[in-house]
């Protein structure tokens, strides 16, 4: 039986010529070929405000587009997040999306005793796919992949999503069409396996 996959397309530019969009389409194509069900959330096309207070995060009512995204995430048992690296981390729009989406009552629930949190998205795995202008080894070794690690632990891991795997494509703007085709095929194969 196939997996239920939601692809979160996190490039803040809705221009379909962006390489992140091609990666998303190839993952989806592979997943369908592999017998999996797929839904996509294109963050750049969603109209939502940024959260500005703790009260909104803990008890505010999310806008309709965020509630729809929450339903897609709740439905899925595998989450794929695709984004370009901006200033060492995910773009602000994608971060704002996670702040809106992973609210109390959906992703976290305070426990009645001890001040802890119940992780409400357990049982889901994730694949993060990141494009960047620098070599991926430089990002991993010199910069210690700080933005990626924050997403893995402080966002996804905090709400119970694991295991989490990452695929990084470096120097993407300066690469040949042949290299890009290899990246697209690698992602298509990940889709087939739902990894």
Task: Give the model confidence (pLDDT) of 178-195 as tens digits.
Answer: 999 999 999 999 999 999
pLDDT tens, residue by residue, 127-182:
999 999 999 999 999 999 999 999 999 999 999 999 999 999 999 988 899 999 99
Residue 139's SS3 state is helix
Cα–Cα distance, 22 to 184 (Å, whole number): 7
Whether the Cβ atoms of residue 21 and residue 11 lie closer than 8 Å to each other? yes
Cα–Cα distance, 135 to 165 (Å, whole number): 19
Count: domains in the chain? 1
Range of the domain at 55: 4-193
Which two tokens mark 87?
């200033």
Q: Which CATH number does the domain housing residue 10 bear? A: 3.40.50.360
Record the pTM: 0.96
Maximum alpha-carbon separation in the chain: 56
Q: What is the mean pLDDT of residues 81-108?
A: 96
Cα–Cα distance, 4 to 78 (Å, whole number): 6
């Amino acid at each position: 039986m196939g997996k239920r996959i939601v692809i979160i397309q996190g490039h803040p530019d809705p221009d379909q010529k962006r390489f992140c969009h091609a990666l998303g389409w190839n993952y989806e194509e592979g997943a369908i070929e592999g017998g999996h069900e797929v839904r996509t959330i294109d963050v750049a096309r969603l109209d939502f405000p940024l959260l500005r207070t703790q009260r909104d995060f803990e008890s505010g009512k999310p806008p309709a587009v965020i509630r729809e995204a929450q339903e897609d995430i709740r439905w899925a048992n595998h989450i794929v997040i695709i984004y370009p690296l901006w200033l060492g981390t995910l773009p602000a729009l994608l971060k704002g999306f996670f702040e809106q989406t992973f609210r109390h009552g959906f992703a976290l629930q305070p426990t009645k005793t001890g001040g802890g949190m119940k992780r409400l998205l357990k049982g889901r795995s994730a694949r993060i796919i990141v494009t960047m202008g620098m070599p991926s080894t430089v990002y991993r070794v010199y910069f210690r992949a700080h933005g990626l690690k924050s997403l893995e632990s402080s966002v996804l891991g905090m709400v119970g999503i694991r295991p989490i795997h990452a695929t990084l494509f470096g120097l993407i703007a300066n690469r040949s069409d042949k290299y890009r085709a290899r990246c697209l095929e690698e992602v298509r194969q990940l889709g087939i396996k739902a990894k």
